[in-house]
């Protein structure tokens, strides 16, 4: 045999031990997880790049009445079942983000941003005097320059990747959605409902609450009645403000009467050392109701606080999940109350059936993720 050819003999490849293969697989999983969590990665792909195949939004014009029969057949998107293990959380995250359609989200945002803006709809209460002195309420421009925006007041709202808009519907009872709701970066609730007693189903966090006039007056009178009394006596009222750093804002025209009510609440918050931030709008959120005509062909005389909370949230949230929005009296043969915390009858001021139909359409189009029924696992952050 020629010695010079020995260097070309094929070498035996040693098999990779199973232990090493498992390590490599684990490194790959960790790398994938880190990629998904990367805070520097853009939250939304460029326009036209869709996360999931959905139809492009078309305005919906359902019959005004009756809607209940067709709405009862609609179901919600759910997470896969299982425990909260690492792999299940990865799968839940993939399912969550896969639901949304970025093209349709951007189309809705382009509409809502014409009518809603946190800079003028959620202003620090401490900036009230500055707004009155230097800005025009209606146009939100400087008094000495009608073409310049009112840039002398500020908002506590920032930009958020995932938001939960949590209605107060009785559908939340026995849902087990608390952990899933709290897993969102920012949680929004209309009308400051009680949460601690129901936290397994509704969550315990509130980052923003937007209240109507009736709720603002009730809170003001309740807090005023316990001024100067021991904390134990004031607890039923003051514990509503326990969520750290919560933003408490009004949703309608900020008249003198509403300013007085907010002043009482602001005083109570300071008196009992709560970290709640009080805020107010320069114009009523109801003034933006034309947005719903452009989004879905729906004209509402008086949109609910919850629906307006969604529209406002769409201007500063990338992806929105909605809970507690269900107007029917029955779900899977079980009684459903208007609120999860009392047995009040529905307000006749709002058309909840058509609002629900619109939310279901937004869910089908990948604009929001609307949850009805039981939740399976915590998901986004």
Catalytic sites, residue numbers: 350
Q: Which two tokens stand for residue 261?
A: 């009510």
Q: Which two tokens stand for residue 74?
A: 């609609």
C-alpha triplet 44, 46, 51: angle, nearest 5°: 60
Contact criterion met (CB below 8 Å) for 370 and 325: yes
Residue of 77, 40, 255 lying closest to 177 (CA atoms): 77
Residue of 199, 160, 207, 162 lying closest to 183 (CA atoms): 162
Residue of 124, 345, 101, 141 lying closest to 254 (CA atoms): 124
Backbone angles phi, psi at 303, to 5 degrees: -60, 145
Listed in sequence order, the residues at least 6 apart from 8 whose beta carbon sits closer than 8 Å to its beta carbon are none
Q: Which two tokens stand for residue 97?
A: 């983000």
H helices then E strands: how many in the chain? 14, 13
Q: Dihedral (C-alpha) 242, 248, 250, 256: value to the nearest 10 degrees?
A: 90
Q: Token pair 């853009």 is at which residue?
A: 42
Between strands 135-136 and 141-142, the pairing is: antiparallel
Contact criterion met (CB below 8 Å) for 48 and 333: no
Alpha-carbon span 337 to 352, nearest angstrom: 13
Alpha-carbon span 202 to 355, nearest angstrom: 21
Contact criterion met (CB below 8 Å) for 305 and 251: yes
Cis? peptide before 66, omega within 30° of 0 = yes
């Amino acid at each position: 045999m020629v010695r010079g050819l020995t260097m070309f003999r094929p070498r035996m490849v040693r098999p990779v031990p199973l232990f090493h293969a498992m390590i490599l697989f684990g490194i790959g999983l960790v790398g994938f997880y880190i990629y998904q969590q990367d805070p520097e990665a853009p939250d939304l792909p460029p326009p036209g790049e869709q996360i999931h195949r959905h139809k492009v939004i078309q305005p919906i014009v359902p019959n005004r009445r009756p809607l209940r029969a067709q709405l009862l057949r609609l179901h919600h998107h759910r997470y896969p079942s299982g425990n909260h293990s690492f792999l299940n959380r990865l799968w839940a995250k993939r399912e969550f983000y896969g639901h949304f359609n970025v093209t349709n989200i951007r189309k809705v945002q382009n509409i809502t941003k014409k009518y809603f803006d946190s800079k003028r709809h959620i202003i620090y209460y401490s900036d009230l005097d500055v707004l009155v002195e230097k800005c025009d309420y209606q146009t939100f421009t400087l008094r000495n320059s009608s073409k310049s925006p009112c840039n002398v007041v500020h908002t506590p709202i920032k930009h958020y990747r995932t938001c939960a808009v949590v209605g107060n519907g009785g559908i939340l009872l026995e849902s087990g959605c608390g952990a899933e709701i709290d897993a969102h970066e920012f949680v929004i609730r209309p009308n400051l409902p009680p949460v601690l007693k129901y936290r397994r189903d509704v969550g315990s966090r509130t980052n923003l609450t937007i209240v109507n006039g009736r709720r603002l007056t009730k809170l003001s009178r309740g807090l005023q009645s316990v001024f100067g009394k021991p904390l134990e006596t004031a607890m039923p009222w003051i514990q509503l403000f326990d969520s750290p750093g919560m933003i408490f804002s009004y949703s309608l025209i900020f008249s003198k009467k509403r300013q007085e009510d907010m002043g009482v609440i602001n005083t109570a918050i300071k008196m009992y050392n709560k970290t709640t931030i009080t805020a107010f709008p320069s114009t009523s959120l109801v003034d933006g109701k034309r947005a719903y005509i452009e989004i879905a062909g729906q004209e509402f005389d008086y949109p609910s606080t919850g629906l307006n909370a969604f529209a406002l949230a769409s201007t500063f949230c990338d992806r929105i999940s909605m809970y507690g929005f269900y107007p029917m009296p029955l779900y899977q043969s079980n009684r459903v109350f208007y609120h999860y915390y009392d047995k009040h009858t529905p307000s006749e001021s709002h058309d909840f059936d058509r609002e629900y139909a619109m939310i279901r359409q937004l869910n089908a189009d990948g604009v929001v993720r609307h949850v009805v029924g039981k939740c399976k696992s915590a998901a986004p952050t």
